[in-house]
Structure 1
Amino acid sequence: MSQSAVADGARLKKPSWKDPRLLVGILLVLASIVGVISLVGAADQTTEAFAAREPIAVGEKLTTDKLHRVKVRLGEVEEHYLTPGTGLADGLVAVQRIGKDQLLPRESVGQLDGRDRKPVAVTIEESLPAQAVAGSRVDVWVALPDTRNGFSEPTLLLPGAEIAQITPGSTALGSSRSTVVMVLVPDQQMPKLLGAQANKATISVVWNPGGASQWASRW
């Protein structure tokens, strides 16, 4: 047999399992498969969260029949939302308006108020500082109409009232100019505020950074 025939036979020889090239090829294929599986798994890391079936108003009690479960990717912010895994505590109410199919941030719910306070919408034209947010305190001033087609001197009606929600209002043309401040009003003060609104009084809201500690005991 010629040397060329021997060389051709060596080239056509079936590779052995001990061939390093074959082992490297198998490892590359396995690594590729593992990478694809990991990528697909990471992209499918969804969790269940609660969402509102219908709009939920401020002060409305939360029950499971008002919610439905949705699959979402929350990632690192999962702890900031209500989920079936954490459950729904008894006595929770909405402290901010929750829209239809909207997820439930923990900051949008709270325990039922034990001081007989109810949310009332107050529409104002003036701007509030950035610190005036849900949970902060404001003073509500009222100026009643007088007999001279003007307004009487403003009086402090609600000192240190807690804000439940702030939303932009709108004019008839749809341009946002006013602000709707939802404040929590104790029952004994409710007639005065509703009476002022019914009599077209001018109502002003002033941020009160020290209101909570100063006036909470009076409520």
Structure 2
Amino acid sequence: MSPENAVTGQRLKRPSWKDPRLLVGVLLVLSSVVGVISLVGSADRTTEVYAARDSISVGEKLTPENVVRAKVRLGDSERHYITAESGLPEGVVAVQRIGKDQLVPKESLGEVDALDRKPVALTIEETLPAQAVAGTRVDVWVALPDARNGFSEPKLLLPGAEIAQVTAGSTALGSSRNTVLMVLVTDSQMPAILGAQANEAKIAVVWNPGGGAS
């Protein structure tokens, strides 16, 4: 065999399993396959978390009666929610409204002392717009009684107050003409709204579509 044929034969020689380059290539392929399987497995993993059975109002305690379990794919967002594995935390209330069927986020829960807003009931005689439901905001105006047995000019008392609950009320004759509106009021605003109620002020609300609060 000529030297040229010998060189060609060496080039065409089948690589051995002991060839380091072949072993490195196999390891790279295997690690790639394992990585893909792990990624697909983690993306398909579900976590059992809690969701609100009905809407949970601010200040309402979290209990097994007002939540349900739901299996969802959360991925990296899992740490932001209450999981069934960790169980319901004790002694906490909602510091933000949690809508029906909404997952319960950790940031919506806190101790009672952490509440910076408390619900106050307002009796409203006029018809509310259909958009004024729990979770939306309204501007609360009050007109205090004056010396002429009338009312002074209305003043904006609570801009952008969040509605916690809307309940149909009734008059003395039993007809459902008025509405009891629960709005969330801060401690600094509390004396003004309670004072207006104590002085039998006329209270009106205006739906605030922008949701802005002072």
Please say if 1:93 is aligned against 2:94.
Answer: yes
Indicate if the aligned counterparts of 2:58 and 2:93 stay in contact, CA closer than 8 A. no
* Amino acid in structure 1 at the alignment position of 2:94: V
* Amino acid in structure 2 at the alignment position of 1:143: A
Quickly say closer, same or farther: Cα 1:87–1:127, change in 2 above 3 A.
farther
Partner of 1:46: none
Tell me the distance in 1 between the aligned counterparts of 2:132 and 2:66: 32
Indicate if the aligned counterparts of 1:95 and 1:165 stay in contact, CA closer than 8 A. no
Partner of 2:141: 141
Tell me the distance in 1 between the aligned counterparts of 2:66 and 2:162: 30
Indicate if the aligned counterparts of 1:62 and 1:94 stay in contact, CA closer than 8 A. no
Shift of 1:127: 1.0
1:117-170 CA-partner distances (Å, limit 9, x unpaired): 100010101111111111111000000001111110000000000011101001
Report sequence identity in percent. 64
Tell me the distance in 1 between the aligned counterparts of 2:66 and 2:128: 35
* Amino acid in structure 1 at the alignment position of 2:155: T
Shift of 1:61: 2.1
* Amino acid in structure 2 at the alignment position of 1:196: A
Tell me the distance in 2 between the aligned counterparts of 1:192 and 1:176: 28
Map residues 1-219 of structure 1 onto 2, 5 A cutoff.
Answer: 59-63=59-63, 67=65, 88=88, 91-93=92-94, 105-106=100-101, 111-112=109-110, 116-212=116-212, 215=213, 218=214
Tell me the distance in 1 between the aligned counterparts of 2:87 and 2:177: 39
- Structure-2-length-normalised TM-score: 0.55
The runs of 5 or more residues in structure 1 that have no matched partner are: 1-48, 97-103
The runs of 5 or more residues in structure 2 that have no matched partner are: 1-50, 72-83
Quickly say closer, same or farther: Cα 1:57–1:210, change in 2 above 3 A.
closer
Structure with bigger helix share is 1
Shift of 1:183: 0.4
Shift of 1:175: 1.8
Quickly say closer, same or farther: Cα 1:139–1:86, change in 2 above 3 A.
farther
Indicate if the aligned counterparts of 1:61 and 1:94 stay in contact, CA closer than 8 A. no
* CA RMSD in angstroms, aligned pairs only: 3.9
- Structure-1-length-normalised TM-score: 0.54
Shift of 1:92: 3.6
Secondary structure of the 1:134 match is coil
Tell me the distance in 1 between the aligned counterparts of 2:52 and 2:164: 21
Tell me the matched-pair count: 146
Quickly say closer, same or farther: Cα 1:89–1:141, change in 2 above 3 A.
same
Indicate if the aligned counterparts of 1:95 and 1:164 stay in contact, CA closer than 8 A. no
